[in-house]
Chains A and B, each alone.
Chain A
Amino acid sequence: MRYSALALLRHALTDNRSWTPAWREPTPKSAYDTIIVGGGGHGLATAHYLAKEHGLTDVAVVEKGWLGSGNVGRNTTIIRSNYLLPGNTPFYEHSMKLWEGLEQDINYNAMVSQRGVLNLFHSDSQRDAYARRGNAMRLAGVDAELLDAAQVRAMVPGLAMEGRRFPVKGGLLQRRGGTVRHDAVAWGYARAADQRGVDLLQNTEVTGIRIEAGRVLGVETTRGFIGAQRVGLAVAGNTSRVAAMAGLRLPIESHVLQAFVSEAVKPMIHTVVTYGAGHLYVSQSDKGGLVFGGDIDGYNSYAQRGNLPVVHDVMECAVQLFPAMSRLRTLRQWGGIMDMSMDGSPIIDRTPIDGLFLNCGWCYGGFKATPASGWCFAHTIATGQPHALNAAFRLDRFATGAVIDEKGAGAQANLH
């Protein structure tokens, strides 16, 4: 079924009773050509691009819960490609271009809203650093503008600019950045992959990875063994646990990141604003709630919930930037489990086991990368070779020293 204005009208006339499920509930086959473990944004995007770009449709996505039950529904919906390092910038810019054409590609309203991402700076040296990043972006063909304080004031009226410990001196703006309705990304990719023949196996937990003579044979699941020529892991915070089933020990720690939504208010912030002196990113959803988040809690966690010190810190940052937010009540708060890598950059690569591929290390920037991650992972799985866009995201870069450390924080996962 294709969605269109006409279809909406037709279903409205029949009281919306004739909608059918957006994807099938298939029984697992005994074997597939390719199995993707993880039915989140990255896994579903991988399945879609495997089918669309590489003609591989004998594919199953194996998900332990329901589709999109992990981080694709737990983020703050921000998309951007404002990176400094050459290993990162082309990849994230490819992602941005895929976002720009996503809704036409998958015929699904993902509410891609290029409302801009504004990174505030608060000192001369920070201005220099942001100008350098903006220049690097423009050299790589990404849009970037350096705004002075007056331009920021005109763009975001509610900001507390002066008389503060950290006055706002300006900002680096990427106008093509913005937000996307995150659940719709998972559902849209799922539906598109399903229509091309991919089997989406929900409530099917992987309990083991069968390997013989250094080659993957398939996965053990709660619904029995499923054979496969190739297996790709896209399981975010559970990466270490699933990779351990294949005997791999990874440069990954799992950490909890919290996010928050306030009660709905009238239009107040019409772009994405990030705080350069603390750590806060905030935007306003179409329903009116302010969606915001800050740092990870800083300790290893698989609990999908955080603790009060970080709640306190995030709220303080929010009120420093937007004093009016002190009057708002928080409606919801939750946590997601981040696969923090040792240099803050992702891994999309082969593994030492033939036929086993790895997609992980997204830290807390995985959502914006969803389309390019799926696109590059599909390429890597289908051809057996990384694409030029993910060539730097190697698993062995920690051993060789070719790390991609945007923050320059070193091998300390909770600082990235």
Chain B
Amino acid sequence: MRILCPYCGDRDAAEFTTIGSAPPPRPAPDAPMAEWHAFLHLRDNPAGLHAELWQHSQGCRQWLRVMRDTRSHAVAGAEACRS
């Protein structure tokens, strides 16, 4: 699996670490518990295109938002989270 880093180019996935799905917007601190529960625990877990966060930890150390197909592992695109 390879990821096209916007800073470093096409690099092997071994250089990256992931924390999984790109999370939805964080609920407000006083949001109901049900909202926090959904934010923290529930996942769409799609078979297909999946937005997720990867850090290029052995490269530029930037956090990337990666679109990846969970059926084929093909990376459709990656953009820096800061942009």
The contact sample of 29 A-B pairs, CB cut-off 8 A, is A240-B43, A240-B44, A240-B45, A241-B45, A241-B47, A250-B45, A251-B42, A251-B43, A252-B43, A253-B20, A253-B21, A253-B45, A254-B47, A298-B17, A299-B68, A300-B20, A300-B45, A300-B52, A301-B70, A303-B70, A307-B1, A309-B14, A342-B40, A398-B37, A399-B33, A411-B40, A412-B19, A413-B20, A414-B18
Q: Which of B37, B40, B72 contacts A303 (CB under 8 A)?
A: B72
Which chain A positions have C-beta within 8 A of B34? Answer: 399
Q: Quick one: which of A179-212 are within 8 Å of B by CB?
A: none
Known: A300-B50, A303-B73, A399-B37. A249 touches B43 (CB 8 A): yes
Tell me whether A19 is interfacial, beta carbon within 8 Å.
no
Question: Footprint of B on A, CB under 8 Å?
Answer: 238, 240-241, 249-254, 298-303, 307-309, 312, 342, 398-399, 411-414
Distance A302 CA – B44 CA, assembled complex (angstroms)? 13
Chain A residues lying within 8 Å of B1, measured Cβ to Cβ, are: 307
Which residues of chain B have C-beta atoms less than 8 A from A238's C-beta? 47
CA distance A253 to B12 in the complex (A): 23
B residues adjacent to A (C-beta < 8 A): 1, 12-14, 17-21, 33-34, 37-38, 40-47, 50, 52, 68, 70-73
A399 to B19, CA, bound (A): 21
| Extra 20 A-B pairs, beta carbons < 8 Å, given A307-B1, A412-B19, A414-B19 | A240-B43, A249-B42, A251-B43, A253-B43, A253-B45, A298-B18, A300-B45, A300-B50, A301-B73, A302-B70, A302-B71, A303-B73, A309-B13, A398-B40, A399-B34, A399-B41, A412-B20, A413-B20, A413-B43, A414-B20
State whether A250 touches B42 (Cβ < 8 A): yes
Whether A302 contacts B43 in the complex (CB less than 8 A), given A308-B14, A398-B37, A399-B34, comes out as no
**A300 near B40: Cβ-Cβ < 8 Å:** no
Q: How far is the CA of A399 from the CA of B38 in the complex (A)?
A: 8
Q: Knowing A299-B20, A299-B68, A301-B70, say if A250 contacts B37 (CB, 8 Å).
A: no
